[in-house]
Amino acid sequence: MEFVSIDVTDGVAVLRLDRPKMNAISVQVQADLREAAAELTERDDVRAVVLWGGERVFAAGNDVKEMADLSYSDMVKVSASVSSATTAVARIPKPVVAAVNGYALGGGCELALAADLRFAAEDAVLGQPEVLLGIIPGAGGTQRLARLVGASRAKDIIFTGRFVKADEALRIGLVDRVVPADKVLEESVAWAAQFSGAAALAVRAAKECIDRGSEVDLDTGLEIERQQFAGVFATEDRTRGITSFVENGPGKATFVGR
């Protein structure tokens, strides 16, 4: 991977986007993200993921220079690559938190939206300014943003292309926590670290239920939940967790991720 790195410590993987100067998301970055997401999905030593762009900027958007000369027929061919990178991150079956320093705009905002939670610096700025270029979000922005903050707020942000500062982002639910800029990574890692000893398959099942259930009607969502609920009874962690609860009370189980 050329512009993405993975650093794992005590079950927490920091997935670092590093393409100077502004972490513009190019075709190569998209390929790197897909590769990283596949690796993080498979690695048993990774229980949670922190998605970070560095201290200065999360990601200022897709690489506009790369797109400048693309025709409609060109974009038909490459548009799947644009969205598949964020989708790959969204489908990592482990808790993922985006640690947002600086700008998270356009494709950068869409990448943050692919995480389960977003922790932002006090001076962070998010937005989907694609309409100011005469285009629209193409990596999930119209869909994930609307599901997160509601259709009318998403329309206001996307139609106008305006920037959303951290305090407003927290108020409308676009981010989940606002902290000092020098604490963003630390707070994100601390949140992720609580899953290092968690029942990994139960957490995975819960994420699957929430993500898949949000895409379907209630009855179908309940059936997804029913199947996952039954499925975790085949795990060793279920035996450990229930046995520990009966014998020692809540919160004392030791899980092994199986």
The overall pTM is greater than 0.85: yes
The whole-number average pLDDT for the span 120-133 is 97
Measured distance CA(107)–CA(79) in Å, rounded: 13
Please give the helix or strand (H or E) that residue 9 lies within, else none. strand 4-9
Using pLDDT thresholds of 50, 70 and 90, give the confidence band for residue 76. confident
- Residues 142 and 158: beta-carbon distance below 8 Å: yes
What CATH number matches the domain at 200-248, 3.50.50.60, 3.40.1160.10, 1.10.3720.10, 1.10.12.10? Answer: 1.10.12.10
What pLDDT digit, counting tens, does each position of 142-199 carry? 999 999 999 999 999 999 999 999 999 999 999 999 999 999 999 999 999 999 999 9
206 vs 67, more confident: 206
Lowest mean pLDDT among 15-24, 73-82, 90-99, 246-255: 73-82
The CATH number that domain 4-193 falls under is 3.90.226.10
> In the 8-state DSSP scheme, what is residue 2?
-
CA distances from 245 to 39, 160, 228, 253, 254 (A): 34, 52, 21, 7, 11
Residue 227 token pair = 């199947």
Measured distance CA(197)–CA(254) in Å, rounded: 7
Using pLDDT thresholds of 50, 70 and 90, give the confidence band for residue 252. confident
Measured distance CA(132)–CA(181) in Å, rounded: 28
Residue 50 token pair = 């922190």
pLDDT, residue 118, reads 98
**What is the overall mean pLDDT for the chain?**
94
pLDDT, residue 67, reads 79
pLDDT, residue 32, reads 97
pLDDT, residue 221, reads 96
Beta strands in 46-176 (DSSP E): 48-52, 96-100, 103-105, 117-121, 125-127, 163-165
**Would you list the domain boundaries of the chain?**
4-193, 200-248
pLDDT, residue 71, reads 82
Residue 213 token pair = 């259930």
Measured distance CA(74)–CA(197) in Å, rounded: 46
Using pLDDT thresholds of 50, 70 and 90, give the confidence band for residue 85. very high
Instruction: Please determine, for residue 229, whether its predicted confidence score (pLDDT) is greater than 80.
Output: yes
